[in-house]
Amino acid sequence: MPPDEDHASAGQRQLAEEQIRLHAREVDYAVREYPIEVLVAKYVDGAEEGRNEIFVPDYQRNFVWPDELQSRFVESVLIGLPIPYLFVADVRAEDEELSGRLEIVDGTQRIRTLAAFTSGVLKLVGLEKLSHLNDSRFEDLLPSRRRRFLRTTIRLIELTEHADEETRRDMFERINSGGMPLNPMEQRRGTDPGPLMDLIKRLSEEPLLHALAPLSKASVKRRDYEELVARFFAYSERYERFVKRVESFIGDYIRDKQEGFDPATDGARMQEKWSRMLMFVEQGFEHGFRSPRGGRTPRVRFEAISVGVALALEARPDLRPERARISPWANGDEFERLVTADGANSRPRLARRIEYVRDHLLASP
């Protein structure tokens, strides 16, 4: 190898080493091992009061494993297959009563499944290797098998109290980049926690939103209402800056907005903007955010109506909803094409459907 190439290679290696040192974090951890009986008890005892020793943090996903997947996990435990480590993190809290608890970074579905099975809630279904256990619950096992099941140990990797918050969030994001991936909102709750995300969650739970924009149970579990709220604020404030990647656009908005966010002032203003928009839609749009042709709530239709209404109200605060004037165009073919056409997430189409609603509302006398 020529000397200059060898020198370049050595220099590159040195730069790489500097990058490793720059980005390396001190990840202080310990390996624990608990019997299932103890692990479930630490998760269940005190859960209703929010004082269980092992708990699911707010940024984690709702319980989404179907019964078949839960049953397969139980089957794996019963026949002795290796079980992936659970990842937990020691919590530092101002309240001494809550400090030292363990938040689940990865393993929520597994520990919830174990709790559901041992409490008799889960009925096993779809098993192939242990087909005779289909339609069985924990109490249907032989007493000796129940004892052995409860003694089976599960290993945990515990980030200790010395691991910083950035390390925990980074660990959560990296762990969940494979397998059954988290959707964008689930990721954001883990990587961008804060008062803005708390506000989005609270607004997503409003009954009026659920009445105007019905979603499936699966969508609700995957935090789709929170996604709708986040899109409303991001597009209503900066839709003209949208390029074409929705996930990064919404994520950038939340991170920017989160800095210096004041719940008392910023939160109150956003709450008022949100409430005015919902009340206007309730009174002016006979189908709410639903498609008049199928009763569904397409995201693009929600975006067009919600943001278009908000922009119109900003331009004319005295604007009043008149269903007789709104229904013809809101239920018409032209608007339906705008919210169903291919390329709905391109900037021109996003602007066209939002401004279509805004301009039709502002054209009212």
Mean pLDDT of the chain: 84
- 132/298: higher pLDDT: 132
Nearest one of 116, 136, 113 to 124, comparing CA atoms: 136
Residue-wise pLDDT tens digits, 135-179: 999 999 999 999 999 999 999 988 877 665 666 666 666 665 544
DSSP state letter for 183:
P
With a CB cutoff of 8 Å and minimum separation 6, the contacts of 165 are none
* pLDDT over threshold 70, residue 324: yes
Query: How large is the average pLDDT for residues 44-69?
Result: 82
What are φ and ψ of residue 245, in 5° steps? -100, 105
Buried b (16+ CB within 10 A) or exposed e, 5-16: eeeeeeeeeeee
- What are the residue boundaries of the structural domains of the chain, listed by start? 29-179, 195-362
Residue-wise pLDDT tens digits, 185-232: 655 555 556 788 889 999 999 999 999 999 888 788 778 899 999 999
Q: What is the pLDDT of residue 12?
A: 83
CB 289 within 8 A of CB 220: no
Q: Cα-Cα-Cα-Cα dihedral of 239, 241, 247, 251, to 10°?
A: -100
Number of H helices, E strands in the chain: 17, 5
Helix (H) or strand (E) run with residue 5 in it: helix 3-23
Q: What is the pLDDT of residue 31?
A: 87
- Spatial distance between the Cα atoms of 163 and 175, rounded to a whole number of angstroms: 16
Q: What is the pLDDT of residue 199?
A: 92
Query: How large is the average pLDDT for residues 17-28?
Result: 66
* pLDDT over threshold 50, residue 56: yes
* pLDDT over threshold 60, residue 19: yes
Q: What is the pLDDT of residue 7?
A: 52
Q: What is the pLDDT of residue 184?
A: 60
With a CB cutoff of 8 Å and minimum separation 6, the contacts of 362 are 312, 315, 316, 319
Residue-wise pLDDT tens digits, 93-128: 666 777 788 888 888 899 999 999 999 999 999 998
- Spatial distance between the Cα atoms of 98 and 42, rounded to a whole number of angstroms: 14
Q: What is the pLDDT of residue 277?
A: 97
Q: Is 107 exposed, middle or buried (0-12, 13-18, 19+ CB in 10 A)?
A: buried
With a CB cutoff of 8 Å and minimum separation 6, the contacts of 19 are none
CB 233 within 8 A of CB 303: no
- Spatial distance between the Cα atoms of 235 and 220, rounded to a whole number of angstroms: 21
Nearest one of 259, 246, 238 to 194, comparing CA atoms: 259
Q: What is the pLDDT of residue 179?
A: 46
Which of 4-13, 187-196, 328-337 has maximum average pLDDT? 328-337
CB 350 within 8 A of CB 239: yes
CB 105 within 8 A of CB 172: yes
- Spatial distance between the Cα atoms of 220 and 325, rounded to a whole number of angstroms: 32
CA-to-CA dists, residue 197 to 181, 202, 251, angstroms:
20, 9, 11
Q: What is the pLDDT of residue 173?
A: 63
Q: Cα-Cα-Cα-Cα dihedral of 231, 232, 234, 238, to 10°?
A: 130
CA-to-CA dists, residue 143 to 132, 272, 338, angstroms:
17, 58, 62
- Spatial distance between the Cα atoms of 285 and 289, rounded to a whole number of angstroms: 8
Query: How large is the average pLDDT for residues 70-81?
Result: 93
- 258/167: higher pLDDT: 258
Q: Which of 5-14, 131-140, 348-357 has the lowest mean pLDDT?
A: 5-14
Q: What is the pLDDT of residue 343?
A: 46
- 25/359: higher pLDDT: 359
